[in-house]
Chains A and B, each alone.
Chain A
Amino acid sequence: MIHQNIPTTSVVAVDVWVRAGAIAEPEPWAGMAHFLEHMVFKGTDRLLPGQFDQVIEDRGGMTNAATSHDYAHYFINTTAPHLAETLPCLADLLLNAAIPDDEFERERDVVLEEIRQANDDPDWLAFQALIESVYQSHPYGRPVLGDEVGLMQRSPQEMRCFHRAHYQPENMTVVVIGNVTQSQTLDLVNQAFSQFPVRPTCPAAIADAEPPITEIRRQELHLPRLEQARLMMAWIGPGVDQLRNAYGLDLLSVLLAGSRSSRLVRELREDRQLVQAIGSEFSLQRDSSLFTISAWLAPENVDRVEALIGDRLSELTTTPISDAELTRYKRLLCNDYAFSTETAIQLAGLYGYYNTIAQAETAVDYPNQIQTFKAEELQHLASQYLSPYHYAATILKPL
């Protein structure tokens, strides 16, 4: 359990993180973790389907949940006086989810709609194709939503098994932030999270380590209804066991395409005017992170932009970053950190996420770590991770 008392607010945020994301699924069960996140809201012996939502929202609060490869998490944003009534309900859902057969069938239709909606989004399609190409062994390459054929074969019994196997104390982090004392929080959490389900035997997930990319894996997809092309490039980054390297790549990501003065935005959007937009992202994942550069552009510019990005990555490995540039992006990242930790719910998300994939303490250390990077270390990281000859690229073009 993680707690922080903020007496100046009347808000309390509760965020429960469970190490039961898509990587916990055995392969034929793809989509189970996310579908379960939907089914958790369908109640228990004590709470009717949808009743939890009503309990929270009738008291002026908000609730929602999300699932990714490394986690599923469930949060409530409420006010201090309502914590004692709402937190136990959330715990009841998470520990005692009933997963009723009829609700399972109905909610599967909702998940299928979610998949259809995602399939109408070309950026989502491109990203799925990209991670599938990057992660050929590791489950990070699987779509979190699963697919229709696979979901139709799953049963409520299998889901109950998955739930009871993974929603166990060693996999859960309960974060409570806001206007509530530590002793109140401890009492509430201890009481609410005491009776865990009996562990069934459940098919285990296999997460093979991903071998490095040793070539350029390029795939081109042609889609209808497309108004411009996409170029998405990806590199495999370190896992949380090399957190410092991950932070360094975060810094390289903003320097390359994280702001208007960043190298690729300036050159490709503003000066050469070859792209509609370009951005880069570093997503920290437990086993291996993902570094991506994405551009929205005219189909005829794709090859040239890909080559230019390669050139700029080569430069990173040969020429040290200037002090002025380095200072600028350190400051940008540290300030972004300050801007994104203003509210209880933001802090709860940050601590919960870090505790799920590493340790919560590391989240707080982020600005200090960023400040200590020097040009040589970044140059070294660029040559270690961001090779212009070893990456995956997905290109979308109009039909």
Chain B
Amino acid sequence: MSVNLTTAQLLENRQVHRAVLDNGMVVLAVENSAADIVSARIFVRAGGRYEPPEQAGLSHLLASVLTKGTGNLSSLEIAERVESVGAGLGADAAADYCILSLKTVSADFAEMLELAAQLLRSPSLPEAEVELERRLTLQGIRSMQEQPFSIAQKQLRQAMYQQHPYALPSLGTEETVAQISREDLQQYHQTYFRPDNFVVSIVGRIAPEEAIALVDQIFGDWQVPLTAEGEVPLPSLTLPTITSHPKRVISTQDTQQAIVMLGYLAAAVHNPDYAALKLLNTYLGNGLSSRLFVELREKRGLAYEVSAFYPTRLDASQFVVYMGTAPSNTAIALDGLRQEVERLCTTPLTQEELQSAKNKLLGQYALGKQTNAQIAQIFGWYEILGLGIEFDQQFQVEIANVTAETLQTTAHQYFAEPYVSLVGPAIAIDQIATPAIS
């Protein structure tokens, strides 16, 4: 099978260096001298997936407060230090990891990495900052209700993931966020923020050996927590298995457009079906030549935004197709989306369609690895998910090897009955004859 090698091998002359420090911390470094800047992405194996359901939003709240105080620096002092060298520093939480992102001009990198280390190792989590960020988070949760797309996504996720932590938004819910205490944040920090649970990924104008030595110098003396019996093990996670029970979830909202969303439970990243599903997602919903775009927008004018997404997840993911459409078109839109997905189960792609989808996926994958930050992100992410940096190549080979037959079998296996999520005015909802089952 031929691949578009020129674009797929964008990084071939740049080597990814990987080192493991004595304390278990993984360091990745790629030299890119094109510009006088360095980006770092520091990943922690924590995030939404690791939160107890009654503490949903814990990772997000910790990330918000993490940059707002250490033993000897106040929130304002931290902000001034970062901004006085024109750097960028921010923390965030995702479903499968927490992350601190950093970008600086090369000369300031060491100083900023040192500051980042202080924040990550010994945040003071000031009570007043916890309260401020909690209030802002609660308002943020309410504000998501202003966006029809967010409402559709939220109710779909809840229906599909049931008791699994992926069911809840990363901000948490009003109930859970109201309850999280400063002690909960400390406890969570102590449990997961430890060197053997970290990946530091650095890309830019810095020699790999230098980058690795710098991380060792700054983080090397940080030890994994010990008790008399030895190292404290990381908690083992038992998450509920998710089974598919398709249903309809509906919000009646006085909007100008109806959002129609179909979701199917889909494979986790470690599953052998991952590559085929990614390719199906590209073929169906990515770009101006995708099937959904051509059939539903170009040929029928039903939508401005019509697309598909299949996020990369450690646990079961979701394969979602959606569009926003005039309320009077809701039934047609639902039908159209469904037909296009089902066509993948019944009709194999032609060789040309298959090759085009591969070229598109691999070409755009390569275009997504241009900036220092993008390169640092992708390798660090593969490492924290347990895929290893080799996954970059492996994924491209797997995509190149997918056959039309595999795509059809995979589609058939995953795309049986969809979950349906609808948001729109009553005239949109009324078109969908079957009442909500809840």
Residue-wise, chain B 284-316 has the 8 Å CB interface mask toward A (1 for contact) of 000111000010011111111100000000000
A61 to B359, CA, bound (A): 9
Give chain B nearest CB distance to A112 CB in angstroms. Answer: 8
- Chain B residues within an 8 Å CB radius of A335: 37, 85-88, 104-105
Tell whether B23 is near chain A: CB-to-CB under 8 Å: no
B256 part of interface (Cβ distance < 8 Å) = yes
A107 nearest CB neighbor, chain B only: B301
| Chain A 1-37: CB-based contact to B (< 8 A → 1; otherwise 0) | 0000010111100000000000000000000000000
Q: Which residues of the partner chain A approach B105 to less than 8 Å between Cβ atoms?
A: 335, 338
Tally B residues with Cβ within 8 Å of A: 66
By beta carbon, the residue of chain A nearest B135 is A273
Can you name the residue of chain B whose Cβ is closest to the Cβ of A122? B146
Also in contact, A120 and B363, with CB within 8 A (given A50-B294, A57-B288, A58-B356): no
Which residue of the partner chain, among B288, B359, B372, contacts A53 with CB atoms under 8 Å? B288
**Least distance between A252 CB and chain B CB atoms (Å):** 16
Contact with A along B318-356 (1 / 0, CB 8 A): 000000111000000000000000000000000000011
Which one of B46-54, B76-84, B233-241 is at the A interface? B76-84
Known contacts A49-B298, A117-B257, A117-B305: A60-B362 contact under CB 8 Å = yes
Interface string of B367-395 (1 = CB under 8 A from A): 10011100000000000000000000000
- Beta-carbon contacts under 8 Å, B50-95 to A: 75-76, 79-80, 82-88
**A59 contacts B363, CB within 8 Å?**
yes
Residues of B within 8 A of A79 (CB): 6-7, 363, 366
| A41 near B7: Cβ-Cβ < 8 Å | no
Nearest Cβ distance between residue B25 and chain A, in whole angstroms? 26
- What distance in Å separates the Cβ of B201 from its nearest Cβ neighbour in chain A? 17
Which of B35, B142, B253 sits near A227, CB closer than 8 Å?
B142
A57 adjacent to B79 (CB under 8 Å): no
List A contacts of B140 (CB < 8 A): 276
**Bound Cα distance from A327 to B370, whole angstroms:** 30
- Shortest CB-to-CB span from B94 to chain A, Å, is 21
Partner of B370, one of A108, A227, A273, A342: A342
Chain A positions 73-125 with a Cβ under 8 Å from a chain B Cβ: 77-81, 106-114, 116-117, 119-122
Inter-subunit contact B370/A266 (CB<8 Å): no
Q: Which of B6, B299, B324, B359 contacts A117 (CB 8 A)?
A: B324
| Interface status of A68 (Cβ within 8 A of chain B) | no
In the complex, what residue of chain B is closest to A121 when comparing beta carbons?
B147
A339 touches B88 (CB 8 A): yes
Q: Is B132 part of the contact surface with A, judged by Cβ < 8 Å?
A: yes
**What residues of A have a CB within 8 angstroms of the CB of B301 in the complex?**
106-110, 113
A50 touches B139 (CB 8 A): no
Please tell me if B148 contacts chain A, counting CB pairs below 8 Å: yes
CA distance A225 to B6 in the complex (A): 49
Q: Indicate if the CB atoms of A53 and B304 lie closer than 8 Å.
A: no
> Is residue B45 within 8 Å, beta carbon to beta carbon, of the partner chain?
no
The answer for the CA separation of A11 and B201 in the assembled complex, in Å, is 24
Docked CA distance A327–B254 (Å) = 49
Hey, which chain A residues are within 8 Å of B147, CB to CB? 120-121
User: Chain B residue with minimal CB distance to A260?
Assistant: B79
Is A387 close to B, CB under 8 A? no
Within 8 Å of chain A (Cβ to Cβ): is B145? yes
Does the CB pair A50–B4 fall under 8 Å? no
A308 lies within 8 A of chain B by Cβ: no
B79 cross-chain contacts in A, Cβ below 8 A: 259-261, 266
Contact check, B370 vs A331: say whether CB atoms are below 8 A apart: no
Nearest-neighbor residue (CB-CB) of A80 within chain B = B6
Residues on B with beta carbons closer than 8 Å to the beta carbon of A63: 288
What separation, in Å, do the CA atoms of A8 and B87 have in the docked complex? 25
Nearest opposing residue in chain B for A6, CB measure = B34
- Report chain A residues within 8 Å CB of B209: none
Knowing A57-B356, A58-B359, A276-B140, say if A331 contacts B86 (CB, 8 Å): yes
A177 to chain B, nearest CB (A): 12
**Residue A165 is within 8 A (CB to CB) of chain B in the complex:** no
Question: Which A positions have Cβ atoms within 8 angstroms of B?
Answer: 6, 8-11, 41, 49-50, 53-54, 56-64, 77-81, 106-114, 116-117, 119-122, 224-228, 259-261, 266, 269-270, 273, 276-277, 296, 324, 327-329, 331-336, 338-339, 341-344
13 A-B pairs with C-beta separation under 8 A: A10-B6, A11-B370, A58-B289, A109-B302, A110-B304, A116-B257, A227-B145, A228-B139, A260-B83, A261-B79, A332-B83, A335-B87, A339-B88
Q: A225-B253, A261-B80, A335-B86 are in contact. List 20 more A-B contacts (CB 8 A).
A: A49-B298, A50-B298, A58-B355, A60-B359, A60-B364, A79-B363, A80-B6, A81-B6, A106-B298, A106-B301, A111-B304, A117-B305, A117-B324, A227-B139, A266-B79, A270-B75, A334-B86, A335-B85, A335-B88, A342-B370
Residues of B whose CB lies within 8 Å of any CB of A are 4, 6-7, 10, 34-37, 75-76, 79-80, 82-88, 103-105, 132, 135-136, 139-140, 142-143, 145-148, 253-257, 287-289, 294, 297-305, 324-326, 355-356, 359-360, 362-364, 366-367, 370-372
A-B CB proximity, top 6 nearest: A60-B363, A109-B301, A335-B86, A331-B86, A53-B288, A114-B304
